[in-house]
């Protein structure tokens, strides 16, 4: 047997972290010593590495982090005692077990080995049964120690995590880390009482979307094939919303139910993450985008049309009055564009507080706003019925209502087979809430789509006419505006013909 490579690996697969084998580093300056230990320990249980001297041993230990080092005492240069002392002095290597190889009657070496930090000894010539037993015992103990250390590190990370983590048995809370206890305001004795998760969150939050929460705790997992997420997993995200009040801002908690992980037979792992900043940021950007499109396109079209007519008038006989009219139209368009740009810039500087910008929207301006948005989208068959007192005011601003209408009407056009839907909008008072029912004649949705259409990144487009651009954020952001104001939304298929009805519900602002 040759030994041209002293660091060779005797194993049937990779490192122990993947193969389940224990890594054993054999340190001996003689070929015979290395070969003897290789022959005695060769098995499916060990991954053997070799070093010729003390320097190689220290380098290999730092690189491999073995489960055990079999260390010969007598070596040239740095002997086994010095190698052991250096291992014990290194915080990263000090826990590696070391079995020293000594002569049978070498009592002084054993005493010196104990002082150097050796964990055990084996004697030459080797008793094969004793050697295997000692190696097996030490490697098992070391792997168990590592498992305990990893568990302690994991528990420390969970206990100090910024996100809340729960383990649920059905609906009962079995475990909650400190952050989850804070979010849910759990009593210290929750482990004994195992309170209901749903009942606990309903004390402080609105659970959205209601269609999915109504199935708790038997909510079907998410699926990348169903379009619920861009990640290929069975994790499902729901939301808890503490609506905005006169004394506190809105608070969004994302609830992730991990479909991939189970704790024992019935346990379910759930994460609670505060996504208030993310949700309000996405909403503000979306609202800003729709506002810019609406505000700038109209005066731009007005200017373009006037300029085209002016260019045509150069080659035709146009009276001075007609020419003046065209110039005035172009000037008016430029003035409107300048005002719109000024409005956009002012909006951009304050968009982080969009929810509080402007006066509460009064429904007497709804018909005009619908017609304005429909005209911008070139929708010619949109009708509005208003059956509510004109002085009825909502907790949303005109900009928010405009953004919602723009998104919903754009969707009716996007998903209509001919992109020219017939839309009827009914605005009515239903009890103490203002309801807006938007009906189109496009297509029906599947039950799964009806349940998940309000979830972020749900791209139902893939099931319709195909390849419609977008990220699946429009309807979720409509929902987020409503939920933040203690409103609600749902979508149903029409009974009488293809198409859907979007139902929006908002409380009435009684502080106006």
Closest CA to 84 of 133, 93, 76: 93
Strands (E), 156-295: 164-169, 172-176, 206-208, 236-242, 251-263, 267-274
Instruction: Determine contact, residues 375/402, Cβ cutoff 8 Å.
Output: no
CA 255, CA 305: separation in Å to the nearest integer? 51
- Beta carbons within 8 Å of 413's beta carbon, 6+ residues apart: 377, 379, 419, 420, 421
Q: How many CB atoms lie within 10 A of CB 444?
A: 13
| Beta-bridge mates of residue 72 | 101
pTM to 2 decimals? 0.56
In order of 2, 299, 302, 305, 327, the CA distances from 330 in angstroms are 93, 9, 7, 8, 5
Question: pLDDT by residue (tens digit) across 75-97?
Answer: 888 999 999 999 999 998 998 99
CA 407, CA 421: separation in Å to the nearest integer? 14
Q: How many CB atoms lie within 10 A of CB 391?
A: 9
- What pLDDT score was predicted for residue 371? 92
Please identify every stretch of the chain with a pLDDT value under 70, giving residue numbers as ranges.
1-19, 104-106, 220-234, 260-266, 282-295, 297-298, 301-302, 313-318, 339-358, 456-473, 510-512
CA 199, CA 457: separation in Å to the nearest integer? 28
What is the C-alpha radius of gyration for the chain, rounded to an integer number of angstroms?
A: 36
For residue 470, the 8-state DSSP code is: S
Instruction: Determine contact, residues 201/207, Cβ cutoff 8 Å.
Output: yes
CA 71, CA 81: separation in Å to the nearest integer? 9
What secondary structure does DSSP assign to 309-353, as a single string?
A: HHHHHTTS---HHHHHHHHHHHHHHHHHHHHHHHHHHHHHHHGGG
Rounded (10°) angle between helices 31-41 and 128-159:
70
Tokens of 430: 């239903």
Tokens of 162: 């910024």
Report phi then psi at 463, rounded to 5.
-100, -5
Instruction: Determine contact, residues 309/326, Cβ cutoff 8 Å.
Output: yes
Instruction: Determine contact, residues 406/287, Cβ cutoff 8 Å.
Output: no
CA 470, CA 457: separation in Å to the nearest integer? 9
For residue 21, the 8-state DSSP code is: P
Report phi then psi at 242, rounded to 5.
-95, 105
CA 164, CA 270: separation in Å to the nearest integer? 8
- What pLDDT score was predicted for residue 370? 93
Work out the widest C-alpha separation in the chain, in whole angstroms.
Answer: 124
């Amino acid at each position: 047997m040759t030994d041209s490579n002293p660091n060779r690996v005797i194993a049937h697969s990779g490192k122990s972290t993947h193969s389940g084998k224990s890594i054993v580093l054999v340190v001996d300056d003689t070929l015979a010593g290395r070969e003897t230990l290789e022959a005695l320990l060769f098995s499916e249980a060990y991954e053997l590495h070799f070093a010729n001297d003390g320097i190689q041993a220290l380098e290999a230990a730092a690189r491999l982090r073995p489960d055990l080092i079999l260390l010969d005492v007598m070596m040239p240069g740095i002997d086994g005692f010095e190698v052991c002392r250096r291992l014990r002095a290194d915080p990263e290597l000090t826990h590696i077990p070391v079995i020293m190889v000594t002569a049978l009657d070498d009592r002084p070496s054993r005493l010196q080995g104990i002082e150097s930090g050796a964990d055990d000894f084996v004697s030459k010539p080797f008793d094969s049964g004793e050697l295997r037993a000692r190696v097996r015992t030490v490697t098992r103990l070391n792997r168990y120690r590592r498992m305990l250390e990893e568990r302690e590190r994991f528990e420390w990370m969970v206990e100090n995590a910024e996100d809340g983590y729960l383990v649920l048995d059905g609906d009962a809370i079995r475990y909650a880390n400190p952050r989850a206890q804070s979010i849910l305001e759990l009593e210290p004795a929750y482990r004994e009482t195992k309170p209901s998760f749903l009942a606990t969150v309903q004390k402080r939050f609105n659970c959205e979307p209601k269609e999915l929460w109504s199935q708790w705790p038997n909510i079907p997992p998410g699926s990348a094939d169903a379009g619920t997420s861009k990640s290929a997993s069975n994790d499902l995200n729901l939301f808890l919303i503490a609506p905005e009040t006169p004394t506190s801002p809105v608070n969004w908690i994302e609830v992730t139910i991990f479909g991939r992980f189970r704790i024992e037979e019935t346990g379910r792992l759930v994460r609670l993450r505060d996504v208030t900043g993310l949700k309000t940021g996405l909403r503000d950007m979306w609202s800003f985008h729709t506002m810019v499109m609406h505000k700038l396109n109209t005066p731009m079209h007005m200017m373009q049309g006037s300029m085209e007519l002016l260019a045509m008038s150069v080659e035709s006989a146009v009276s001075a009055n007609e020419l003046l009219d065209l110039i005035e139209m172009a000037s008016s368009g430029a003035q409107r564009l300048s005002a719109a740009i000024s409005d956009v810039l002012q909006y951009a500087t304050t968009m982080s507080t969009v929810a509080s910008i402007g006066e509460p929207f009064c429904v007497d301006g709804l018909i005009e706003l619908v017609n304005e948005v429909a005209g911008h989208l070139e929708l010619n068959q949109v009708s509005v019925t208003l059956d509510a007192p004109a002085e009825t005011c909502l907790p949303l601003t005109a900009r928010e209502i405009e953004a919602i209408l723009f998104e919903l009407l754009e969707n009716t056009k996007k998903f209509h087979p001919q992109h020219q839907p017939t839309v009827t909008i009914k605005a009515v008072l239903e009890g103490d809430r203002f309801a807006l029912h938007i009906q189109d004649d496009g297509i029906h949705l599947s039950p799964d789509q009806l349940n998940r259409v309000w979830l972020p990144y749900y791209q139902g487009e893939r099931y319709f006419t195909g390849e419609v651009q977008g990220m699946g954020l429009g309807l979720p952001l409509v929902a987020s505006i409503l939920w933040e104001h203690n409103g609600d939304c749902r979508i149903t298929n029409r009974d009488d013909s293809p198409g859907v009805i979007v139902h929006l519900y908002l409380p009435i602002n009684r502080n106006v």
